[in-house]
């Protein structure tokens, strides 16, 4: 009898201990704003039994590879055009779970205060990943600096420019590298997360920027085998809570916009 009671007590203690520890959920994110938003919701998820482990990356490739290889559970950093291109090129099958925010893409210059000041033959740095290259060229087209063969193509490349009246030259670089060459080029098209890390204020510093109607939402992404797990559902709900919406609006002052 004593032995049975002891075993029951040990089982209860173990169950309580596991409940307190929570289910671990590892999520890859770039530093700003993704990791900051995840840090905000970490305490709330802990109350719900989810131990959120945030893995910070500064590139756009490893977060997807690590989730696909099941080293991590999910990631939060990318747009659908980027994910679609990645899945096609890498043979991965990552899936969208929830849209969280938009980071309006911007054009910056350390030399000029307006696009009109750009000289003929100016050098423009753009990200070299296909979907982001297209995004940059679409913004330049919207600003009246060039014309694309297909004016709506998110996959446009410099070779698809049919009218470049001011003979701009394009320097294609890894997205994370573009802010580092801002002083070396005439104009740089920079992803907002990297702009924020470089202490640029998109609302104040961008010479051209996407509007709030941008289709480039940043998503929580997982795999087909875990996208419907309870932990992922709790994470998705937390990322689209009123608290996160208020945090985004207050902290980023329009540089990041809620998409829910």
pTM comes to: 0.79
> What does each C-alpha distance from 19 to 5, 27, 46, 226, 233 come to in angstroms?
21, 20, 10, 20, 18
The 3 state secondary structure assigned to 231-244 is HHHHHHHHHCCHHH
User: Where do the domains of the chain lie?
Assistant: 24-103+216-258, 106-209
Per-residue pLDDT at 21: 55
98: enclosing H helix or E strand: strand 95-102
Could you tell me the fold of the domain covering 24-103+216-258?
D-Maltodextrin-Binding Protein; domain 2 (3.40.190)
* Mean pLDDT, rounded, of the chain: 92
CATH classification number, 106-209, choose in 3.40.190.10, 3.20.20.10, 3.20.20.210, 3.40.50.300: 3.40.190.10
Fold: same for 24-103+216-258 and 106-209: yes
Per-residue pLDDT at 65: 98
In the predicted model, residues of the chain with pLDDT beneath 70 are 1-21, 212
**b/e 226-236 (16+ beta carbons within 10 angstroms → b):** bbebebbebbb
């Amino acid at each position: 009898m004593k032995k049975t009671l002891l075993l029951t007590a040990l089982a209860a203690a173990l169950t309580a201990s596991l409940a307190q520890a929570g289910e671990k959920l590892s999520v890859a994110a770039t530093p700003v704003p993704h990791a900051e938003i995840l840090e905000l919701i970490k305490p709330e998820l802990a109350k719900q039994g989810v131990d959120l482990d945030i893995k910070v990356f500064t590139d756009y490739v490893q977060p997807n590879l690590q989730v696909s290889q099941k080293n991590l559970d999910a990631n939060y950093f990318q747009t659908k055009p980027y994910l679609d291109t990645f899945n096609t090129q890498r043979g991965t099958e990552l899936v969208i779970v929830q849209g969280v925010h938009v980071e309006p893409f911007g054009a910056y210059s350390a030399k000029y205060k307006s696009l009109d000041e750009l000289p003929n033959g100016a050098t423009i740095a753009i990200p070299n990943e296909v979907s982001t290259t297209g995004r940059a060229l679409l913004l330049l087209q919207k600003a009246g600096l060039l014309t694309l063969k297909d004016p709506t193509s998110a996959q446009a490349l410099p070779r698809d420019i049919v009218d470049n009246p001011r003979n701009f030259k394009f320097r294609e670089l890894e997205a994370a590298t573009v802010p580092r060459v801002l002083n070396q080029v005439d104009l740089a098209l920079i992803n907002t997360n990297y702009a924020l890390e470089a202490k640029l204020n998109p609302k104040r510093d961008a010479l051209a920027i996407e509007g709030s109607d941008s289709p480039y939402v940043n998503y929580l992404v997982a795999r087909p085998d875990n996208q419907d797990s309870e932990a992922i559902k709790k994470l998705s709900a937390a990322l689209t809570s009123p608290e996160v919406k208020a945090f985004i609006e207050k902290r980023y002052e329009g540089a990041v916009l809620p998409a829910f």
